[in-house]
Amino acid sequence: MKAMVLKKFNQPLELTDMDTPQIKEDEILLKVRGCGICQTDLKIIGGKIPREFVRLPAIPGHEIVGEVVEAGEAVSGISQGDLGVVYICVFCHECEMCLAGRQNLCLNLKRIGFDLYGGLAEYIRIPAHTFCPFKRNLSLDFPVHDLAITADAIGTPYHAITRFADVKAGQNILIVGAGGLGIHAIQIAKLYGTKVFVVDMDLNALNLAKEFGADVAFEPAEALEAIQELTNGLGVDAVLEIVGLPETLSWSLPSLKRGGKLILVGYAPGRPFPLDAMAMHFHEWQIIGSRFVTKSELKQIIKLIEDGKIKPVVAKTFPLEQANEALEALRSKTTLGRIVMTF
């Protein structure tokens, strides 16, 4: 099979001919139908993710939709031809976090597309417990490869909004960043009847945000003032920080209402943000880290997609062989929103 392999950090991926993986009894073999790429892949390739989490050679790609080609003898309920997405976390089922339903925080976590081979390959071998199928008679009004982004670009904001921001009808949320995650965060927040403010530097991203339901969209320079005006000086109930840079946190945190919550989804390795403890104290602001998604949440998202309540938004596709060009488009921000590799 063909795979795009990371052999050295900071080097282009190499198109490599490899043996099609052999599955064990509790695994399945998927024919990859689509694989999304994101900023995390740039961090992986650039060697910016701690090295104990990425072993070389690596096959990146953690947003995968695929079709079952073969299931191991011990696998039940999954058949050839089933279509599904891959839950990135290979979890142990036994640790304190797994037992609490927080598989994204498993103490023995391994991740597909990080320390395990990912989806930038024609086939992938995965433990059966990471396969999350769509219903068998699924009919879509968009290409199958768009489903690839379910696990991360939809899953990550879903976890952050439903578990932590916990916004309700009549409340408001500020979403910082209208890219691949942001555009789905808007759709999810709207399902809760929340008023959605979106900030992005890119005017086209802001237009797209409005198309997908953002009530107000503005550029960073006007954010703080506009929010004060639109909320009668109170601030927003929640901030979803998808960027996570000190530059955005400097105005997104003070946009909060008293008692408000800032959910940190994005992060910038090695760029800490100084915290004003006095302001935190006076306003009783909460800052909460949010990492990826739990498996049960991913299953809920699958239902929402099946019912047409959330639509995966893919900006551009590239064939697998052009993964380096796709990564460059992501790096140079010439493409807005999610990019998916097709097969």
Q: How far is the CB of 282 from Zn ion (least distance, A)?
A: 36
- 228: helix, strand or coil: helix
Q: How far is the CB of 124 from Zn ion (least distance, A)?
A: 16
Query: Mask of contacts with Zn ion, 218-257, x by CB under 5 A?
Result: ----------------------------------------
| Binding residues with Zn ion: total (CB under 5 A) | 8
Residues forming beta bridges with residue 129, ordered by sequence position: none
Are β-strands 314-319 and 286-289 bridged in parallel, bridged antiparallel, or unpaired?
unpaired
Q: Does 209 bind Zn ion (CB under 5 A)?
A: no
* One residue of 28, 29, 32, 38 binding Zn ion per CB under 5 A: 38
Q: How far is the CB of 99 from Zn ion (least distance, A)?
A: 8
Residues forming beta bridges with residue 241, ordered by sequence position: 176, 264
In the numeric block, which tokens belong to residue 14?
């190499």
Which residues are within 8 A (CB) of 245 and not within 5 positions of it... i.e. 6 or more apart? Answer: 266, 268, 271
- Cα separation, 225 vs 235, in Å, equals 10
CA angle 199, 203, 206 (to 5 degrees): 45
Give 90 or 238: the residue with its C-beta nearer to Zn ion.
90
* One residue of 1, 78, 92, 140 binding Zn ion per CB under 5 A: 92
Q: Which stretch binds Zn ion (CB under 5 A): 92-100, 159-167, 236-244, 265-273?
A: 92-100
Q: Which stretch binds Zn ion (CB under 5 A): 48-56, 85-93, 123-131, 217-225?
A: 85-93
Q: How far is the CB of 82 from Zn ion (least distance, A)?
A: 24
Q: How far is the CB of 265 from Zn ion (least distance, A)?
A: 11
Are β-strands 256-264 and 286-289 bridged in parallel, bridged antiparallel, or unpaired?
parallel
* Residue 334 one-letter amino acid: T
DSSP-assigned letter for residue 255: G
Are β-strands 2-5 and 286-289 bridged in parallel, bridged antiparallel, or unpaired?
unpaired
Give 85 or 98: the residue with its C-beta nearer to Zn ion.
98
Query: Mask of contacts with Zn ion, 131-170, x by CB under 5 A?
Result: ---------------------x------------------
Q: How far is the CB of 160 from Zn ion (least distance, A)?
A: 13
Query: Mask of contacts with Zn ion, 93-122, x by CB under 5 A?
Result: --x--x-------x----------------
Q: Which stretch binds Zn ion (CB under 5 A): 34-42, 170-178, 190-198, 306-314?
A: 34-42
Task: State how far Cα 248 lies from the chain centre.
Answer: 19
- 70: helix, strand or coil: strand
Nearest to 222 by CA among 174, 180, 184: 174
Q: How far is the CB of 91 from Zn ion (least distance, A)?
A: 5
Q: Which stretch binds Zn ion (CB under 5 A): 7-15, 35-43, 64-72, 254-262?
A: 35-43
Q: Are 292 and 103 in contact (CB under 8 A)?
A: no
Q: Does 27 bind Zn ion (CB under 5 A)?
A: no
Q: Are 240 and 160 in contact (CB under 8 A)?
A: yes
Q: Does 40 bind Zn ion (CB under 5 A)?
A: yes
- Cα separation, 187 vs 339, in Å, equals 18
Give 150 or 172: the residue with its C-beta nearer to Zn ion.
150
Q: At what angle do helices 203-211 and 182-191 cross, to 10 degrees?
A: 30
Residues that bind Zn ion (CB under 5 A): 38, 40, 91-92, 95, 98, 106, 152
